[in-house]
Structure 1
Amino acid sequence: MSTAKRIKEKVSSFDEGTTFKYDQLGIDNSEYGAATKAIERLISKGVVKRISKGLFYKPKKSLFGDLKPNEKQLLKPYMYEGDNRIAYITGLSLYNRMGLTTQVPKNITLACNKKRINTEIDNLNIKSVKSYVDPNTENILFLEILDAIKDFKKIPDLDIDNAIGQLQERIHDLSTTDRNKLITYALQYPPRVRALLGALLTDQEFSSAFPKLKNSLNPLSSYKFGSLGSSLSTAQNWNIV
């Protein structure tokens, strides 16, 4: 079967609104020349549309014409390599979704270990920061919690009582196994993250927080998060000031 025919069949298998790059077409490096021509023919027929260089989508048809991909689809090519998750949304977009801020960001920030991203697609500005842990489908939930703790002091219009409550609720809803995973991932984050996580865990009487987190911290160090005493009674036990 020719490269063009295989690409046509592959694109036909995509759902409408799906974004894709060349590496999702199942072609070899030697076939990129033929693949480029095949994609250009599909674009000329309206089967495929180009978002930016090397990034395409299969348009969704409606009574009002072709619809553009949603934000999730626009970000997908930057968050996956093949079927493997390599990045996740962090920053203000995440903290807004978590209910920690009312501010809506102008930019989307992705946490990623494998590559740096700084691009604009369809008026969506995307940048990346280095993640502390290699992201995958199973650990995103834990990394989101840890990122919120890491940026706690920098989240705009943060209501401390609400934020502590939101984080405690997320941690409380974890199973014992997942809570231990959260602690393990926290060991790869800065000491201030481990300290605040320890305070959040011990406030809920999860004693498993003590050995790993306590032993990872310098007992002479202190961590500035502002006045958390009224919201988190265990803060002082973790040298949080």
Structure 2
Amino acid sequence: MKIAELVKYRIDRFAEGYVFTYSDFNVDAEKESALKIALYRMVKSGTIERLSKGRFYKPKSGIVKKLKPNEYEIVKDLLIDGGKAIGYITGYSVFNSLKLSTQVPNVIQIAVNFDKKGIKRGIYTVKFVRQWNKITKANIPLLQLLDCIRFIKSIPDTTVANSINRITLLLKELPEAEKKQLVELAINYPPSTRALSGAIWEQLGYNDYASKLQKTLKSTTWYSFNIPQELLPNRLKWKIK
């Protein structure tokens, strides 16, 4: 089978929105030039789209235009390595999915266990934030929820008060085992996250969880969130203002 035929055969079987690279075709090194030419021609014809250097996708057809891949597809190589989670999407996408905000900018935020410089993926800016807990596929939803508390002042198109009300509801709805796990994960977060988490747990009546977090905090440090007293009556106890 000629390279052009192989490329068409494989792409016809890719799902719409699937992001692929040269490695998806498993061609020998001496045939890579022919592979690149075949892909270039398909981009030119509009059959596929180029996301960024060496990365392509089969576009979905929308009502009025071709749709771009979802965020996971765009950055999936930065999230999984050898079947293990090495990062996860956080920030704006999670704010949106958890109904904390309606805005989704062209910025994809990824949490990883090490410092890393941002990159570009087509029209998207990929930014990395530090996560101090070991990342596993199972704990990602809890880490994403803790990130919402950590970045609560940065959630767009809302207020801190509205965000606290929504996060309080989300914490309340967690299964008991996940509530306990979330508190354990919170211990590795910055003090401001621990303080706000503890204050919310105390308001919900989980005094044991609150006490565990309070023991990790310095008694002299204050945390600024601009939270009304009526929303969080115990805020002064937690040095929150």
Structure 1 length normalisation: TM-score? 0.77
User: Are 2:19 and 2:69, in contact at CA under 8 Å, matched by a contact in 1?
Assistant: no
C-alpha distance in 2, partners of 1:225/1:134?
27
C-alpha distance in 2, partners of 1:17/1:152?
31
Aligned Cα root-mean-square deviation (Å): 3.5
Amino acid at match of 1:38: L
User: Percent sequence identity over matched residues?
Assistant: 29
2:35 to 34, 38, 41: 38
Partner of 1:69: 68
Partner of 2:198: 198
User: Are 2:107 and 2:127, in contact at CA under 8 Å, matched by a contact in 1?
Assistant: yes
C-alpha distance in 2, partners of 1:208/1:2?
67
* Structure 1 residue 54 displacement after superposition: 1.8
Q: Quick check: 1:14 aligned with 2:29? A: no
C-alpha distance in 1, partners of 2:165/2:201?
12
Number of residues of Structure 1 aligned to a counterpart in Structure 2: 236
Partner of 1:119: 120
Gaps of 5+ in 1: none
* Structure 1 residue 223 displacement after superposition: 2.0
**Which region of structure 1 is more displaced relative to structure 2, 214-223 or 185-194?**
214-223
C-alpha distance in 2, partners of 1:7/1:17?
16
C-alpha distance in 2, partners of 1:42/1:149?
44
**Which region of structure 1 is more displaced relative to structure 2, 100-109 or 168-177?**
100-109
User: Are 2:7 and 2:38, in contact at CA under 8 Å, matched by a contact in 1?
Assistant: no
* Structure 1 residue 162 displacement after superposition: 2.1
User: Are 1:39 and 1:48, in contact at CA under 8 Å, matched by a contact in 2?
Assistant: no
User: Are 1:86 and 1:135, in contact at CA under 8 Å, matched by a contact in 2?
Assistant: yes
Gaps of 5+ in 2: none
C-alpha distance in 1, partners of 2:9/2:118?
30
Q: Quick check: 1:172 aligned with 2:172? A: yes
User: Are 1:164 and 1:232, in contact at CA under 8 Å, matched by a contact in 2?
Assistant: no
* Structure 1 residue 203 displacement after superposition: 0.8
User: Are 2:199 and 2:235, in contact at CA under 8 Å, matched by a contact in 1?
Assistant: yes
User: Are 1:43 and 1:49, in contact at CA under 8 Å, matched by a contact in 2?
Assistant: no
For residues 121-140 of structure 1, give each alpha carbon's deviation from its aligned partner in whole angstroms, at most 9, with x where no partner exists. Answer: 1x233332333334443222
Partner of 1:238: 238
Q: Quick check: 1:95 aligned with 2:95? A: yes
* Structure 1 residue 206 displacement after superposition: 1.6
Structure 2 length normalisation: TM-score? 0.77
